[in-house]
Amino acid sequence: MENNLEFRYIRYCTRYKVLPVPAISDSLTKADNQRSRKRRSSLKVELDQLKDADYLPLIDLINAMCSSDLDAINICNESPCIIDENQTFSLMCAANQKLHAVCLHDLPFTKHFLRDMFRSGLSCRVLKLSTSSLHKLEMVGNFKKLRKLNLDFCTSLTTIQKDPFSQMPNLMHLSMCETRLSNLWTTTAALSKLPSLIELRFQNCLCCQDTGPCPAYSGNDSGFHVSKNNYHAQETSQDFLVLEDSSPNYEDQFESLDVHSSELQRLSLLDLSSNSPDYLIKELPSMIQSKELQVKSSEQGFGQETQEIDHSEDFKSTTQRKYISHHPSPLCFEKHYREFILSSLPQLLVLDNLPVGTKERKIARVIYSKHFEYLPYKRQQEVSVPRILHHRELASRALPCRIPSVSRKSSVHQRSFSKSLLAAKLGASPWPQLHRISEISSFKNEESKIFRPRQFEYHPSNSSLMAFGTLDGEVVVINHENQKQVAYMPNFGASTSILGLCWLKKHPSKVLVGSDNGLLRLYDINDASSKGSDSYHQRANSITFDSFEQLTSVHINSTDELCVVSGCTKNVAMYDMGTGKRFELFNNLHQEPINVAKFANHSPFMFATSSFDRKVKMWDLRQGMIRPCYSAISSRGNVMACFSPDDHYLLVSAVDNEVKQLLAADGRLNIDFGIASSGSSHNYTRSYYMNGGDYIISGSSDEHVVRVCCAQTGRRLRDVHFEGRVSDKSMFVQSLRSDPFREFNMSILASYGQSNSKCEIIKVNLLASNEDGENDVQLQRSCSSFSLGG
């Protein structure tokens, strides 16, 4: 009788003067019977059946158990309830070594409870959590026995930290349906640290509530043959599965998942992806049926051999079954999501309840190589910076000692070496360093002041300077390296927002400023910084230009002689930079407002206009303004256009992520970057060149992401996501610029979604990890001003 678990539980309840919980008593009775028959015994603790006073006798019972009393303890809740977090945590700690499964659904956890649980770790094999309190995944504690992790419906989970899975060497099954994860790069980089992961879910098949290959796609009719022995399950109690591994070799378990060509066509790879059916049916058949479809995997670092895939059957006619996504996370809507995951995590055997066959994996690698860059500058594999320097040193020692001569060949070699270093550094971490520029220290040693930036520009020749205009009409010049204020010009006239900024090239201390009320003014920062800001407007070197109604953008030509101004009208104005006089107004150049007008970088006569009438037009002042040199059309209203540094290309950004690169000479399409649209007509997109024209950066006013794409191939290199300081406060891209002096560096003007009155400038260094210095991970529309200016 003394060994009877139920009897011992009643004795502890008597000690604490509480009544036994019937559900606990029943579970203990069942465990006693299982143990008497020498079967695996388990205790199920339902938290929604416990009151605060019921915890102490149960904790004492578990603490007093010996190893032979019980084999497993499962902790769960069957319905939403309020729990005592301290006692619940004590209960899990007491049961830790016997824990098999912890399943907690829809409980209002505090961040302290989750932090303590994730940092201390658990010895359970199955962990299921669904809560709106989980914002970051930082499971750094000991979870070495964990085999299955289910975080479905953690609807506030947006971020996976760098090493959240470092203590999960045996995790095989991971599910994160209907979370808010959206960054493919950081997510797959974190998941790649799981050596045993064979199944992953970010969305589930409509007929599948739990993990495992979908039976509808595992039968003979679908072409996939999955043995039932692949997932051995033994039901110990309701909703709890004990996973028993029949073999440690997961590849052997799933070797029957190979798919023949006709079977792959029957279950369309297009249907497995999150892309639209039109896109899938359009693109992949030509790739499958083409005799030229060869995969040189070494270009993306996936292997050295060359694979050839030859499919002859008609693709569309053999598609029989449609995958219906259920509870998808945002990253499932990225183009080529499935192909990206399969190429990045080659050990996966099941993705989103669908088994992965060999042929599908090969095609996924083809699609990945076409649309994504594994490493920048066509690097074939990851290498370390010390290794590059070591090889360079060995090569230099082999050369005869002589005075180096400057030649085009050596210059090209030096540039190639520089790109190799950058590629090595960028491949080191997908978590870039983010740093806010918010509080600016005054050059007069006054207290720091928080400004509300609305537009900003890097200085063209001084690598440390940046100017930004504010929503209050101020202009501030700062040293963005140390966040010190260099010059300050208060607003002139009525309070207004600064929408246009442009530095002069031949007069580097001067900056032209335009505000939304049409006022234009040329400032000299030397005057502002020398005697302070109070009397700046009385000084002679502040030149006021003729006004331009509803101004949105200003830009100066390459010789600092002319300025072109556009606004919420169909006209553009040309100004004389020496006098500030408007000498020409060109009327009705477009049928809708012209948001941005930009001069070429080298020709003082060529400029382009970008209008919401969906057209971009190129103009040459020498030929008159009767007709444009050419006109190119977009499918949506154009937000902006800019020239590549060498003026060979024109980068055009239209509403909702339509980004194209045109040949500047004649307007022919060079690259369509194929960024997925969000469906919002207010998603104003802006794009700029980076790294001297090698890459482009693109961001939109309804999204908290900046995309980095190769300007030569159009392939996506990286996405940079950011969030608000407070988890429920989203921020969006209002403007952005690349750093002209530091490759793979940029700055983002981000605005909170509730109002554009709160904005921040965020510096991004893709070459530095967020562990290398200060990193504001918590950085993250609804107003018409998002559409204005560049």
User: CA 495, CA 390: separation in Å to the nearest integer?
Assistant: 58
The model's pTM is: 0.81
Asked, for residue 520, whether it belongs to a domain, the answer is no
In whole angstroms, how far apart are CA 388 and each of 391, 421, 745? 5, 7, 22
Cα four-point dihedral sign 121, 124, 125, 130: negative
Asked, for residue 537, whether it belongs to a domain, the answer is no
User: CA 194, CA 182: separation in Å to the nearest integer?
Assistant: 19
Asked, for residue 232, whether it belongs to a domain, the answer is yes
- pLDDT for position 729: 62
DSSP code of 296?
Answer: E
How far is CA 308 from its chain centroid?
Answer: 33
Q: Which amino acid is at 181?
A: L
Q: Are 654 and 677 in contact (CB under 8 A)?
A: no
Reduced to 3 states (helix: H, G, I; strand: E, B; else coil), residue 252 is helix
- pLDDT for position 712: 95
Could you say which of 35, 58, 77 is where a domain stops?
A: 77
Asked, for residue 675, whether it belongs to a domain, the answer is yes
Nearest residue to 658 (alpha-carbon basis) of 632, 629, 692: 632
Contacts of 520 (CB under 8 A, 6+ apart): 500, 512, 513, 514, 544, 545, 546, 547, 548, 551, 554, 563, 565, 575, 580
Report the domain count for the chain.
Answer: 3
Q: Are 640 and 621 in contact (CB under 8 A)?
A: no
Please give the full DSSP string across 621-659, using - where no structure is assigned: GGG-SSS-SEEEE-SS-EEEEEE-TTSSEEEEEETTTEE
Check which CATH number belongs to the domain holding 660 and give it: 2.130.10.10
User: CA 788, CA 516: separation in Å to the nearest integer?
Assistant: 9
Q: Are residues 363 and 215 in the same domain?
A: yes
Could you say which of 59, 77, 95 is where a domain stops?
A: 77
Where in the sequence is the domain holding 331, given as residue range(s)? 211-372
Asked, for residue 200, whether it belongs to a domain, the answer is no
Nearest residue to 30 (alpha-carbon basis) of 7, 54, 6: 6
Q: Which amino acid is at 413?
A: H
Q: Are 320 and 166 in contact (CB under 8 A)?
A: no
- pLDDT for position 776: 45
Burial string for 23-48 (b: 16+ CB within 10 Å, else e) reads ebbebbebbbebbeeeeebbbbbbbe
Q: Are 553 and 573 in contact (CB under 8 A)?
A: no
Strands (E), 459-590: 465-470, 475-479, 484-489, 498-503, 510-515, 520-524, 543-544, 551-556, 562-567, 572-576, 582-586
DSSP code of 152?
Answer: T
HEC assignment per residue over 514-535: EECCCCEEEEEHHHHHHCCCCC
The stretches in the chain having pLDDT less than 50 are: 219-320, 399, 401-406, 530-531, 533-534, 536-540, 727, 772-783
Q: Token digits for 61?
A: 């019972």
Q: Are residues 220 and 363 in the same domain?
A: yes
User: CA 338, CA 344: separation in Å to the nearest integer?
Assistant: 10
- pLDDT for position 101: 95
User: CA 425, CA 625: separation in Å to the nearest integer?
Assistant: 48
Q: Are residues 217 and 366 in the same domain?
A: yes
- pLDDT for position 442: 59
Asked, for residue 324, whether it belongs to a domain, the answer is yes
Strands (E), 269-421: 294-296, 306-308, 325-326, 350-351, 354-355
Asked, for residue 645, whether it belongs to a domain, the answer is yes
Could you say which of 77, 110, 136 is where a domain stops?
A: 77
Reduced to 3 states (helix: H, G, I; strand: E, B; else coil), residue 92 is helix
In whole angstroms, how far apart are CA 478 and each of 489, 490, 526, 786? 12, 14, 13, 24
User: CA 23, CA 50: separation in Å to the nearest integer?
Assistant: 9
Asked, for residue 139, whether it belongs to a domain, the answer is no
User: CA 747, CA 758: separation in Å to the nearest integer?
Assistant: 17
Q: Token digits for 573?
A: 């104005």
How far is CA 473 from its chain centroid?
Answer: 33
Cα four-point dihedral sign 769, 775, 778, 779: negative
